[in-house]
Amino acid sequence: MKILIFQTAFIGDLVLASSLIKSVKKTFSESSVSLVCKKGYESIYKRFEYLDEVIPYDKKGIRGFAALLKEKRFDVVFSPHRSHRTSTVLFLARIPERIGFDNSGFSFLYTKKVKYEKGLHEVERNIKLLLSYKSDAVVDLKPELYVSDSEKGQVLEKFGIGAPYAVISPGSVWPTKRWIPEYFAKVALFLKRKGLVPVIAGGPQDREIAETVAKGAKGAVNTAGKTSLREFMALISQAQVVITNDSSPTHFAVAFDRPVVTIFGPTVKEFGFYPYSKKGRVAEINLYCRPCGIHGGKRCKEKHFKCMRDLTPEKVIPLVEEVLNSELKL
């Protein structure tokens, strides 16, 4: 049997799909398992033992890509992605069994629709796609990724990191999801006092905010915009703790079994994207206006940004200390 998993959403969503991929492969160990992801993200699953093939999709054509998938003659597809384009591509690819969520765009094009349950974590929601197809499936809920020892060593050498370190990821696609840079800097200074090198990480789009954090945290190593995706993963995989906004570094940390503190402002845990680990903590405060949207937004609708401004470092640092101490006890 040839099985396809289709997830072309954001990086964090793709990381969380690892649990579904593992469960599918463990359930159908003799089958071929392929993944479609957004072009540029395929290196996330480099040498991932539960996948036989990764197919990048640039989202620039529907019929052409559907024809490519049709040629591969898949028997079944599990689609956590809920866009109209995805439903259409899979229908045109003539995959006999197409399983997706009932709130997907053009969900009527799926052969089986699974209820999207808002109270569940994304990992658990995704697994329901598989369970709807095979009720006695082998379920492995733990997100997991792979980087080699050589990749780990190379990234430390590249940035001259020779001591235990913590990763601080201050960026986000959505401006209202970004904690105050000066607050991140205060956490970085706390980490230095604990004997950890603060390593600031992020993509090219995060350079400006990373520079602001670095200026307030003397001695921090700023890698933002200077790493490949694989190097970023290698940094996360060896961190003593990861401090991040509600964004993909949360899920990378969980996939590498690293302690993580995730800062939630406009979004809430109930959306299902909190750190799926006993080593994870969520920093947040209760406000009448939370949540203000599934992704936050470009600006605070109430014009006060209290969800982040009132979430001071003094409220976050105890959580960082808690996960560090918990890790030492393990």
Q: How do residues 290-326 score in pLDDT, each as one tens digit?
A: 999 888 888 998 899 999 999 999 999 999 999 998 7
Residue linked to tokens 């006060």: 304
| Residue 77, amino acid | V
| CATH code assigned to 2-133 | 3.40.50.2000
Residues of the chain with CATH 3.40.50.2000: 2-133, 149-329
Q: What is the pLDDT of residues 312-321, one digit of tens each?
A: 999 999 999 9
Averaged over 7-19, what is the pLDDT? 97
Q: How far apart are CA 293 and CA 266, in angstroms?
A: 7
Determine phi and psi for 76, rounding to 5 degrees: -150, 150
For residue 176, pLDDT over 50 is answered with yes
Angle at 5 between CA 85 and CA 16, to 5 degrees: 100
For residue 6, pLDDT over 50 is answered with yes
CA–CA distances in Å: residue 243 to residues 171, 172, 195, 250, 252: 11, 13, 16, 8, 12
For residue 330, pLDDT over 50 is answered with no
- Per-residue pLDDT at 14: 98
**Superfamily for the 149-329 domain:** Glycogen Phosphorylase B; (3.40.50.2000)
Query: Residue 330: exposed, middle, or buried by beta-carbon count in 10 A (0-12, 13-18, 19+)?
Result: exposed
Please report which helix (H) or strand (E) contains residue 44, including its range: none
- Per-residue pLDDT at 295: 83
Sorting pLDDT into bands at 50, 70 and 90, what band is 224?
very high
Task: Output the six-digit token pair for 12.
Answer: 């964090």
CA–CA distances in Å: residue 245 to residues 8, 77, 293: 21, 32, 15
- Per-residue pLDDT at 264: 97
Q: How far apart are CA 284 and CA 270, in angstroms?
A: 12
For residue 329, pLDDT over 80 is answered with no
Angle at 198 between CA 326 and CA 236, to 5 degrees: 65
- Per-residue pLDDT at 306: 96
42: left (phi over 0), alpha (psi -120 to 50) or beta: alpha
Averaged over 10-18, what is the pLDDT? 97
Task: Give 236's Cβ-side CA count (13 Å radius).
Answer: 32
Q: Are 152 and 237 in contact (CB under 8 A)?
A: yes
- Per-residue pLDDT at 328: 56
Q: Are 250 and 168 in contact (CB under 8 A)?
A: no
Task: Give 33's Cβ-side CA count (13 Å radius).
Answer: 21
Averaged over 215-240, what is the pLDDT? 96
- Per-residue pLDDT at 326: 79
- Per-residue pLDDT at 235: 98
- Per-residue pLDDT at 297: 82
Q: What is the pLDDT of residues 230-263, one digit of tens each?
A: 999 999 999 999 999 999 999 999 999 999 999 9
Q: What is the pLDDT of residues 37-81, one digit of tens each?
A: 999 999 999 999 999 999 999 988 899 999 999 999 999 999 999
